[in-house]
Chain A
């Protein structure tokens, strides 16, 4: 559907634009005195009204020969032909109208008197049609840019939703159930520890909810969250879990996507420490290097346990997030060395505002 005819107010505005055009043309045809002002208006007002719609037919033409994809010669030829044809038809219709008017007897000899004005009407027709073509190209460009903007907005919303979905997937819900079970056990034997565990859980989930909704958080906040998680797991796993950290103060200011470390830490526990009878030490390391920041999570693991440890879904998620957020400027490396499993994240260090 034609964009101008799509709404009534637009149509009215468009027709209003043609009123001065009709007035101007009336002035032009009556300038020599052969045609009176009243006669000119009676001829040209209906003519202009009709031509307003004829000109809009060029919109379909403009859509059919888009500005960028068509070569200039073809463009000009198409529109010149269309303009000539439209103008000729229009002048023909006008001539018919004058003939009808003349036959009523009110305008004596109008047919002969008006004949001299036909060439200038024809050129006006060409000009007006060309203006309409220009206007329609502008309109099409405007609509296209609006569409691009809308699509960009939609894409942004989709990306955000995907991001939130991945965030939710970062935290294994069984972590909560196991922690609640620990609290259930502590309530009678060690009420203080039970309370501490409640507070740790609340801190962790509050942190996740609050920071998870930010596009970026500082690495120090991210590490605090990871430590909160590890504290909870220490209550659960007891002496089997030890934590070593080596955090360079400078790295704390870097802004990182929230919960980017969570799957690494979770993997270290569920696939590293969890399946080992004697447990072990999870090492968390962060340091500035050049324009970036390096985050390392290292844990012992038992290669004898077979493929059962680690499906790699968590790490794949992290990789996808990094690719979405940084394209090629971030990387995740995994290396297994004997019984050590090491995941290294390299991110650009963006400073916070």
Chain B
């Protein structure tokens, strides 16, 4: 079994490596100190299993998982027990609470061996929605672009546009494509801040400069940078409800 260790603490990685050295069928193919490295390592090395910390620099464990999809089995290793439910919702193989005993890791590896074959249980696009704690809203969006990863705070998003199977995030004059549906993104974002103004658009209301009557029943939203977006009738009602 080829394993990637992802933890920002050197000592935590050292401990895992030491525990894993006892198994002949286990090979540690990479050690990563942050989420970016993890995404790159998983993309390049295609391991069977990831031992993944949750609170890490740049990308947290759930974001890493979202970006690498279900190509790899995951055992979360963390000191925080409040993520356990989320971890199992994203179909993690197991969830180890630091500090943990060698036996506990063995049990997790046993589960992993029997689960590694079973893949693609959850579409990656749904992960960000599911991995969110109840009642909270998405605060940043992680987007993979080949080997690069972009992390965009939601406050920098101007609007989001549906494009076939993708959504396109517009932020600071740039476009970022992600395989996801507009409806999934809509439910994850703060409804006070992001409004579905049209079948194809979600607008950050901070960017709205004015609304223009376009035809008898339809409006257009003019953004601060001059962009015009179509507003549907139901979108106009939603917009008014938020703006009051």
Residues of A within 8 A of B (CB): 174, 177-178, 180-186, 188-189, 235-238, 274-277, 304-308
Residue of A nearest to B9 (CB): A236
Sample (24) of A-B pairs whose CB atoms are under 8 Å apart: A174-B80, A178-B9, A178-B79, A178-B98, A181-B9, A181-B11, A181-B15, A181-B100, A188-B18, A236-B9, A237-B9, A238-B9, A238-B10, A277-B57, A305-B151, A306-B139, A306-B140, A306-B152, A306-B153, A306-B155, A307-B139, A307-B155, A308-B60, A308-B139
* Cβ–Cβ < 8 Å partners of B14 in chain A: 185, 189
Q: In the assembled complex, how far is the CB of residue A33 from the closest CB belonging to chain B, in whole angstroms? A: 94
The reply to whether A185 and B12 form a contact with Cβ atoms under 8 Å apart is yes
Q: In the assembled complex, how far is the CB of residue A336 from the closest CB belonging to chain B, in whole angstroms? A: 14
With A181-B99, A304-B151 as known contacts, state yes or no: A189 contacts B57, CB within 8 Å: no
C-alpha spacing A181/B155, complex, angstroms: 36
Asked whether any CB of chain A lies closer than 8 Å to the CB of B58, the reply is yes
Asked whether any CB of chain A lies closer than 8 Å to the CB of B162, the reply is no
C-alpha spacing A330/B155, complex, angstroms: 33
* Cβ–Cβ < 8 Å partners of A180 in chain B: 98-99
Asked whether any CB of chain A lies closer than 8 Å to the CB of B92, the reply is no
* Cβ–Cβ < 8 Å partners of B153 in chain A: 304-307
Residues of B within 8 A of A (CB): 8-12, 14-15, 18, 33-34, 36, 55-58, 60, 79-80, 97-100, 139-140, 151-155
Q: In the assembled complex, how far is the CB of residue A149 from the closest CB belonging to chain B, in whole angstroms? A: 44
The reply to whether A185 and B151 form a contact with Cβ atoms under 8 Å apart is no
C-alpha spacing A188/B102, complex, angstroms: 13
Q: In the assembled complex, how far is the CB of residue A26 from the closest CB belonging to chain B, in whole angstroms? A: 82
A235 in complex: contacting residue of B11, B56, B57, B140, CB < 8 Å: B11
The reply to whether B18 and A305 form a contact with Cβ atoms under 8 Å apart is no
Q: In the assembled complex, how far is the CB of residue B34 from the closest CB belonging to chain A, in whole angstroms? A: 5
Q: In the assembled complex, how far is the CB of residue B232 from the closest CB belonging to chain A, in whole angstroms? A: 29
C-alpha spacing A185/B36, complex, angstroms: 24
* Cβ–Cβ < 8 Å partners of B10 in chain A: 238
C-alpha spacing A275/B56, complex, angstroms: 6
Residue of B nearest to A307 (CB): B139
C-alpha spacing A276/B36, complex, angstroms: 12
* Cβ–Cβ < 8 Å partners of A178 in chain B: 9, 12, 79, 98
Q: In the assembled complex, how far is the CB of residue A113 from the closest CB belonging to chain B, in whole angstroms? A: 92
* Cβ–Cβ < 8 Å partners of A189 in chain B: 14, 18
* Cβ–Cβ < 8 Å partners of A177 in chain B: 79, 97-99
Chain A CB within 10 Å — which of B14, B57, B100 has the most? B57
* Cβ–Cβ < 8 Å partners of A274 in chain B: 8, 55, 57
C-alpha spacing A276/B33, complex, angstroms: 11
C-alpha spacing A178/B97, complex, angstroms: 10
The reply to whether B58 and A277 form a contact with Cβ atoms under 8 Å apart is yes
The reply to whether A182 and B11 form a contact with Cβ atoms under 8 Å apart is yes
Given A186-B11, A236-B11, A306-B140, output 12 extra A-B contacts at Cβ < 8 Å: A177-B99, A178-B9, A181-B9, A182-B9, A189-B14, A235-B11, A236-B9, A276-B57, A277-B33, A305-B58, A306-B155, A307-B155
